[in-house]
Amino acid sequence: MAKEKKGVRLEHISKIYKDPKTGKDFYAVKDQNLEIEPGSFVTLLGPSGCGKTTTLRMIAGFESPDEGEIYLGGEPINALTPNKRDTAMVFQSYALLPHYNIFDNVAYGLKLRKMDSETIKKKVTDILSLVGLEGMENRMTNQLSGGQQQRVALARALVIEPGVLLFDEPLSNLDAKLRVSMRTEIRRIQQEAGITAVYVTHDQSEAMAISDKVIIMNKGIVEQVATPQEAYYYPNSKFVADFIGECNFLKAKVTGQDMVEIDGAAVKCATGNLESGAECDVVLRPEGATLSDTGVIKGIVDYSCFMGAYQDYRIKVGESFVKIQEYNPKNKKIYKVGDTVYLGFEDNTLYAL
């Protein structure tokens, strides 16, 4: 539907803010280089204050970068005001115009583009049916539920057929169940419209579910750009490993190619470029370990709790604790607090940093 898919390129982008408390300048975003492919769905992911929203607002034009240049479809856009940029944003608070009905809200951008009323009517009707709001044209915004308001905000952004669609934590005001169904919906609509999308969230499961690529940010710096799978299985830093999913770090020593020693036991583990003899942290996802009565790494059950889908354990290994989730606990042996257990690892689940 979009007239032209546009890519976004950020070259050495930095944004400096003044800390209101100390009065000192700091980098909200530092030397960011990004290439967002046309038609892809990319998520900026990170904890609050990591610079993801600032990045998005710089692409939209609400903030100006202090260093570097932003390109939209190959054109530098630093000096353009938001109204002159081929972007459309879906806001966290939806930001619908409360004095207009749904139709006028969606038609707002089209009217500014001086389209005739016939075209406007057709486009608005089409887009409302795409987002599943047929026949709601005359409702006022406060007569809609949160999810419906979100769809209007999406329709309003889509209807002007922007080169890039920007999302600023659009689902954070919805309840948990709706959040899950809306993110699938957003993904479907983006695919159907075939539009480039940049999405900001702090919710890693949302980012995984929705994106072609995630950009994990921390303190203004891009930690990793990867597909959700890569980021989960091959995080390139402890921060990423910890932020995407749950994770344990096991102290280990590289003993050879793809071999490490944990707590005196030799274990198979992807070691990447780490040299033999190096100290490292092995990333262990809670679902990546199994518990049994025999094995190499010995521990004592410190906590054991039935969670439905899995049995949640905390195992004391040496001086540290390891979180383990054993799925489908009905068919497995349940260990109690104080039991002695042995940890085993499935192949290809460990990754050394």
Partner 1 sequence: MAKSQSASLDRKKLMADPIMVTTIVLLVVFLTIFILYPLAILLVDSFVSDDGLTLDTFKRVMALPNFRRAITNTLKVGFLVGIASSLIGLLFAYVEVYVKLRTKFMEGLFKVVSMLPVVSPPFVLSLSMIMLFGKAGIITRFLLHIYDNSVYGFWGIAIVQTLTFFPVCYMMLKGLLKNIDPSLEEAARDMGASRFKVFMTVTLPLILPGLGNAFLVTFIESIADFANPMIIGGSYDTLATTIYLQITGAYDKQGAAAMAVVLLAITLLMFVIQKYYLEAKSTATLSGKASRERMLITDKSVTVPLTILCSGLAIFVIIMYICVPFGAMFRTWGYDFHLTFKWFGQVFTKYKGFKAFKDSFILSLISAPITALLSMIISYLVVKRKFKAKGFIEAVSMLAMAVPGTVLGIGYIRGFSGGLFGSGFLQGLYGTGAILVIVFVVRSLPTGTRSGISALRQIDKSIEESAYDMGADSFKVFMTVTLPLIKDSFLSGFVTSFVRSITAISAIILLVTPSYLLITVQINEFAEKGAYGIACAFATILIIITYTAVLLMNIFMKYFGTSRKVNIED
Q: Which whole-number Å values give the CA distances from 58 to 4, 344, 349, in the listed order?
A: 21, 47, 38
DSSP string, 27-72: EEEEEEEEEE-TT-EEEEE-STTSSHHHHHHHHHTSS--SEEEEEE
Residue 16 in the binding site for partner 1 (CB under 8 A): yes
Q: Give the three-class secondary structure for 145.
A: coil
Instruction: List the one residue from 2, 29, 42, 88 that touches partner 1 (CB under 8 A).
Output: 88
CB 260 within 8 A of CB 267: yes
Instruction: List the one residue from 48, 83, 229, 331 that touches partner 1 (CB under 8 A).
Output: 83
Q: Which is nearer to partner 1, 115 or 278 (CB)?
A: 115
Distance in Å, CB of 28 to partner 1, minimum: 11
Residue 255 in the binding site for partner 1 (CB under 8 A): no
Cα–Cα distance between 42 and 44 in angstroms, integer?
A: 7
Cα–Cα distance between 307 and 208 in angstroms, integer?
A: 23
Q: Which is nearer to partner 1, 86 or 326 (CB)?
A: 86
CA end-to-end span of the chain, whole Å? 44
Per-residue contact flags (x/-) with partner 1 for residues 25 to 44, judged by CB under 8 A: x-x-----------------
For residue 170, give the nearest of 67, 91, 226, 268 by alpha carbon.
91
Angle, CA 294 vertex, CA 290 and CA 300 arms, to 5°: 70
Residue 257 in the binding site for partner 1 (CB under 8 A): no
Burial class (CB in 10 A: 0-12, 13-18, 19+), 192: exposed
Residue 48 in the binding site for partner 1 (CB under 8 A): no
Residue 235 in the binding site for partner 1 (CB under 8 A): no
Q: In which residue are the tokens 């969230």 written?
A: 201
Q: Which is nearer to partner 1, 14 or 325 (CB)?
A: 14
Residues between 131 and 170 that touch partner 1 (CB under 8 A): 140, 142, 153, 156, 160
Instruction: List the one residue from 1, 95, 278, 296 that touches partner 1 (CB under 8 A).
Output: 95
Distance in Å, CB of 91 to partner 1, minimum: 4
Residues between 295 and 334 that touch partner 1 (CB under 8 A): none
Residue 221 in the binding site for partner 1 (CB under 8 A): no
# of chain residues touching partner 1 (CB under 8 A): 39
Residues lying near partner 1 in the complex (CB under 8 A) are found at 15-16, 25, 27, 60-67, 78-84, 87-89, 91-93, 95-99, 108-109, 112-113, 140, 142, 153, 156, 160
